[in-house]
């Protein structure tokens, strides 16, 4: 009897030690989002909640962010290994910091189109880009839509626009009060913010950049060049695990929103579910994403964007498209085939 209990205890101790060793061997990865925990965060949180990152040999920590520019800077500084940031913000960092030792690199495209849009209320008489001529537009100075507006302006022959700056929480409020004629912002954020301030859906005019001749890429997964060079296997493992979770989120956003609630218990579940669905439809599973493939890019389109960002952002040097993108660690085509069939 004693011998049997001794053997059982020994086996249990060995099992625990083995588990502890395996967990200790998991590669720590610090990841920062572009914004706070909202609906679209489910794309990343799903794999954490389901244990897909751990199954891939990674110990992933996901933190909220406060803007793409900040995320790029924190990956560049080494505070984070990886992040989720706007491609234009990444390009701007590269071109304005040509001598930086640790310039982050994009390794997977998630928002195939920029969510940037111009929004107005129908009562203003603005229904198309030409109606913006001579109007007052509002947005925070760092808003990606505002910074890229010269590209929209050129594509649609818009002239004589005056800008008003404000903090992000005041953007939609100022539009509702009539302090500005139109705003720029992420479509799936500003639409919901306007509705929360009393606007009806049918009263809101939305002009997505992607629908008006501005084919900018949106947010991508970025990584420090140090990690990409020293541990490309871990980066590839992260992308594979992320893709597995993202596929589930895209297929069933209603069920997936629970993982966001786990991270921020005070979110409005219905609101964030709608935000997630809007993001999926407009930038994740968009017509351009279906054409190019999830996670992938079109080199010619990326090169054009690099040139447009260099001009619109007035960067110190021209964006080197070869330095901002590296698709060598992407999962294979079968893994990336996660977008549902287009609705007829």
Residue 271's closest CA among 169, 206, 194, 182? 194
Q: Say yes or no to pLDDT of 177 above 90.
A: yes
Alpha helices in the chain (DSSP H): 2-25, 42-49, 52-55, 68-77, 87-96, 144-147, 149-156, 171-177, 187-196, 225-230, 232-251, 253-256, 258-263, 269-279, 287-292, 299-312, 321-324, 333-336
Residue 199: other Cβ atoms inside 10 A: 19
Per-residue pLDDT, averaged over 319-342, amounts to 95
Cα(94)–Cα(234) distance, rounded to whole angstroms? Answer: 24
278: tokens are 């809007």
pLDDT tens digits for range 294-308: 999 999 999 999 999
Q: What is the pLDDT confidence band of residue 25, given thresholds at 50, 70 and 90? A: confident
What is the predicted pLDDT for the residue at 2? 42
pLDDT tens digits for range 269-294: 999 999 999 999 999 999 999 999 99
pLDDT tens digits for range 225-238: 999 999 999 999 99
Q: Are 3 and 9 in contact (CB under 8 A)?
A: no
What is the predicted pLDDT for the residue at 20? 46
330: tokens are 């992407």
Residue 244's closest CA among 152, 315, 338, 313? 338
307: tokens are 């040139």
Q: Which residue matches tokens 């925990």? A: 37
Per-residue pLDDT, averaged over 147-160, amounts to 96
pLDDT tens digits for range 41-76: 999 999 999 999 999 999 999 999 999 999 999 999
What is the predicted pLDDT for the residue at 14? 45
What is the predicted pLDDT for the residue at 6? 44
What is the predicted pLDDT for the residue at 3? 47
Q: What is the pLDDT confidence band of residue 16, given thresholds at 50, 70 and 90? A: very low
Compute CA 141 distance to the chain's CA centroid, rounded to the nearest angstrom.
Answer: 19
pLDDT tens digits for range 78-101: 999 999 999 999 999 999 999 999
23 vs 275, more confident: 275
Cα(299)–Cα(321) distance, rounded to whole angstroms? Answer: 9
What is the predicted pLDDT for the residue at 18? 45
pTM: 0.91
Q: Say yes or no to pLDDT of 343 above 90.
A: no
Q: What is the pLDDT confidence band of residue 24, given thresholds at 50, 70 and 90? A: low
Q: Say yes or no to pLDDT of 203 above 60.
A: yes
What is the predicted pLDDT for the residue at 22? 44
Q: Say yes or no to pLDDT of 23 above 80.
A: no
Mean pLDDT, the chain, integer = 93
């Amino acid at each position: 009897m004693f011998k049997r209990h001794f053997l059982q205890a020994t086996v249990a101790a060995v099992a625990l030690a083995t588990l502890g060793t395996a967990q200790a061997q998991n590669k720590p990865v610090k990841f920062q989002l572009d914004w706070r925990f909202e609906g679209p965060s489910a794309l990343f949180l799903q794999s954490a909640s389901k244990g897909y990152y751990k199954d891939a040999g990674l110990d992933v920590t996901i933190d909220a962010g406060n803007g793409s520019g900040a995320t790029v800077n924190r990956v560049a500084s080494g505070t984070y290994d990886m992040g989720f940031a706007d491609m234009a913000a990444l390009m701007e960092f590269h071109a304005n910091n040509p001598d930086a030792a640790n310039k982050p690199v994009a390794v997977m495209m998630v928002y195939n189109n920029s969510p940037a849009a111009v929004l107005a209320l129908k009562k203003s008489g603005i229904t198309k880009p030409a109606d913006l001529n001579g109007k007052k537009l509002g947005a925070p100075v760092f808003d990606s839509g505002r910074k890229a507006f010269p590209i929209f302006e050129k594509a649609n022959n818009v002239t004589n626009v005056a800008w008003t700056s404000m903090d992000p929480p005041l953007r939609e409020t100022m539009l509702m009060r009539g302090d500005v004629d139109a705003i720029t912002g992420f479509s799936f954020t500003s639409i919901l913010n306007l509705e929360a301030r009393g606007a009806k859906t049918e009263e809101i005019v939305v002009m997505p950049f992607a629908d008006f001749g501005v084919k900018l890429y949106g947010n991508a997964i970025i990584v420090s060049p140090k990690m990409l060079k020293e541990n490309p296997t871990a980066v590839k493992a992260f992308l594979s695990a992320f893709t597995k979770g993202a596929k589930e989120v895209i297929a069933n956003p209603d069920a997936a929103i629970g993982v966001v609630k786990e991270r921020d218990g005070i979110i409005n579940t219905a609101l964030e579910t709608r935000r997630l669905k809007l993001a999926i439809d407009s930038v994740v599973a968009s017509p351009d994403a279906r054409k190019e493939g999830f996670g992938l890019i079109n080199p010619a389109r990326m090169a054009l964007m690099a040139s447009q960002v260099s001009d619109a952002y007035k960067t110190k040097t021209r964006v080197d498209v070869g330095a901002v993108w590296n698709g060598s660690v992407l999962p294979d085509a079968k893994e990336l085939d996660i977008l549902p069939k287009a609705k007829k």
